[in-house]
């Protein structure tokens, strides 16, 4: 079995693969204060709940945008699974040609998503990840990662309204059903959700045009969305072709196969 970690700023998504197939996955809170032992015991409890044997884990792979957790999870992997984890970063084979000015600056999650999306849908394509930040990544039909756009995510925007204003409350992120709203909570939800939908449509439209300038006008650009709020935003836009909630985990499994033989 392969144990994969997708470590985001807000959540860690874990997945267990057997012979290339995802057996199960979990989402836990990212906590930089947790020790390797705390993470190890928590993961053992998750394994026990699913009747999985930790001894069957043959390898571990980690993608993280939280550098401070690399040592913690690496130590946890060594102690609880007796494996030194593969950490996605420079030197790890991905199959992509990264055209970023400084490839080391690209978030590991963005590369992992691009690997999975290109493997599943081909190119050219745009990958949108609705996480703590909302990221847009462009990949050509020749597997070239060009770069993209980073915008504040819905939760960041909501928190900023609450923290930086005196009277605005904290609100749930959900559609209010209208943009002419008659109370403060609905008005904030409208601005957050529908404003983000507008942002998505505009950036995708511009990015498609730029991609077609590079790849050719005849090339159809596929748009893939992932992340916890993908479904909410996709309901109000016409530019998303596929929702793929487990894209990052699948990308980690693909990258593992490119760097080591398939675990049994």
How many Cα neighbours within 13 Å face the side chain of 27?
A: 10
Give dist(CA 97, CA 142) in Å, integer: 9
Tokens encoding 168: 């605005």
Give dist(CA 223, CA 123) in Å, integer: 10
Query: What residue has token string 């946890």?
Result: 76
**CA proximity to 66, closest of 39, 99, 97:** 39
Does an H or E element contain 25, and which? strand 21-29
Q: Is 109 a catalytic residue?
A: yes
* Pair type for strands 133-139 and 59-64: unpaired
| Sign, CA torsion 46/27/39/249 | positive
The catalytically annotated residue of 6, 59, 109, 129 is 109
* Pair type for strands 11-18 and 21-29: antiparallel
| Sign, CA torsion 247/252/138/154 | positive
DSSP conformation letters of 231-253: HHHHTT-S---EE-TTHHHHHHH
Give dist(CA 119, CA 112) in Å, integer: 11
Query: What residue has token string 């991905």?
Result: 94
Residue 118, classed as helix, strand or coil, is helix
Would you please indicate which residues are annotated as catalytic (active-site) residues?
Answer: 109
């Amino acid at each position: 079995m392969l144990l994969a970690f997708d470590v985001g700023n807000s959540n860690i998504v874990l997945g267990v693969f057997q012979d290339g197939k995802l057996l199960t996955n979990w989402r836990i809170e990212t906590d930089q204060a947790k020790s390797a032992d705390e993470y190890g015991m928590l993961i053992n409890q998750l394994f026990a709940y699913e009747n999985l044997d930790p001894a069957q884990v043959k390898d571990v792979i980690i993608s993280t945008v939280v550098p401070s957790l690399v040592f913690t999870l690496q130590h946890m992997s060594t102690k609880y699974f007796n494996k030194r984890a593969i950490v996605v970063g420079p030197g790890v084979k991905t199959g992509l040609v990264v055209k970023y000015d400084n490839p080391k600056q690209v978030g590991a999650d963005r590369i992992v998503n691009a690997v999975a999306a290109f493997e599943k849908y081909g190119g050219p394509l745009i990958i949108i990840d609705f996480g703590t930040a909302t990221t847009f990544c462009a990949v050509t039909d020749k597997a070239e990662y060009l770069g993209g756009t980073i915008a504040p995510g819905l939760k960041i925007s909501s928190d900023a309204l609450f923290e930086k204003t005196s009277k605005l409350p904290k609100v749930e992120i959900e559609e209010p059903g209208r943009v002419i709203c008659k109370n403060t909570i609905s008005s904030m939800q409208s601005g957050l959700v529908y404003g983000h939908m507008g942002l998505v449509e505009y950036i995708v439209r511009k990015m498609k045009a730029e991609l077609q300038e590079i790849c050719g006008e005849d090339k159809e650009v596929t748009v893939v969305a992932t992340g916890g709020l993908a479904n909410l935003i996709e309901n109000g836009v016409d530019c998303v072709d596929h929702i793929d909630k487990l894209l990052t985990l699948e990308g980690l499994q693909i990258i593992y196969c490119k760097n080591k033989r398939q675990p049994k």
